[in-house]
Chain A
Amino acid sequence: MQHDMTQAIIDWQQGEAASQENMYLIIYDQLRTLASSQRRKVAQKFGEQTIEEHINSTTAIVHEVYIKLEHANNEQFSNRKEFFLMIARTIHNILVDQARKNAAQKRQVELTVLDERIDDDINMAVFEQSQQMIDLGNALQLMETQFPRQAQSMQLKYFGGLLVKEISALLAISISSAEKDIAFAKSWLKLRLSE
């Protein structure tokens, strides 16, 4: 799989016809597993309502990832590490964008339907859950600038769904360093989000 991926990336960069499709097919099952677990995690943590109906399936998330990858054609990635980071970021961005959209819709509803009190509690719950996703997204962005390696480890673990040993191989660090990075990133995020 590792060698396949590397070869697929090299071919894609050399402009080989159909190499992009081949690469998508190679990672397809892995991507589905990843998207499915991310969707479940977000739904469990922030509630099913944060995920809009059209994105409420693994197929839809994978399709969105491919659309983003199509548009990221010019974005250079030279190896598996950069590719997986891009995928992890893409899945994360899809879910955060969704949360932002929900929050914006909620604000719109508040502005236009001032007297409407029906489902107010439900709307507030969705808003709070979406807000948590946005806060998490913003905190991760800040961490990327201050502690890039720790942020990468975190993204690969939680959005990329990789194991610690895979992360250590991708980032060329020891397993204990990867574990420390993830633990640091977790407590940093916890502190940041509780402020």
Chain B
Amino acid sequence: MKKLIMTTSYQGLPLACYWNSITKNILLISQRHELTVFTCFGFFKAKKTLKITPKIAIEMHFRKLSKEKIGIIMLKIKGVLLKAQAIDISSGDKVALASLNYQQLVAR
């Protein structure tokens, strides 16, 4: 049900990102902080910010590729990409970003 999508750290703070394959929500955990991003069952673009320290805020972005069952989860700091991972929305399996082409990204 809850699948680990990516882990990383920023300035020594651990970050873990999970995908709930039933509700299609994303859960970002960093130490004692948690953030849930609702994606309306993986259909909508979503963005939320988790403030970990007074100076560090992690932005969690989700976007679904048009006509595909693929979603892209991105962690950003001040709008700059920190880490990204594409997933299969229905199963939560990871999809390599290199396997996507530009047309898939820009399709509307």
Which A residues lie at the B interface, using CB under 8 A?
Answer: 3-5, 7-8, 11, 18-19, 21-22, 24-26, 28-30, 53-54, 57, 59, 62-63, 66-67, 70
Contact = CB atoms under 8 A, between A and B. Distances in A.
Contacts of B96: 29
Contact of B12 (A7, A19, A30, A54): A54
B83 interface: yes
Nearest to B105: A22
Interface stretch (B18-26, B32-40, B49-57, B74-82): B74-82
Contacts, number: 55
Contacts of A11: 106
A63 B82 contact: yes
A53 B97 CA distance: 27
Interface of B: 8-9, 11-12, 72, 77, 79-84, 96-98, 100-103, 105-106
Given A8-B102, A11-B106, A54-B12, A25 B97 contact: yes
A27 to B, nearest CB: 9
13 contacts: A7-B102, A11-B106, A18-B106, A21-B81, A25-B72, A26-B100, A26-B101, A29-B97, A29-B98, A30-B98, A57-B9, A62-B83, A66-B80
A22 B102 contact: yes
A63 B9 CA distance: 12
Nearest to B101: A4
Nearest to B9: A57
Nearest to B7: A59
Contacts of A7: 102
A4 B80 CA distance: 21
Contacts of B83: 59, 62-63
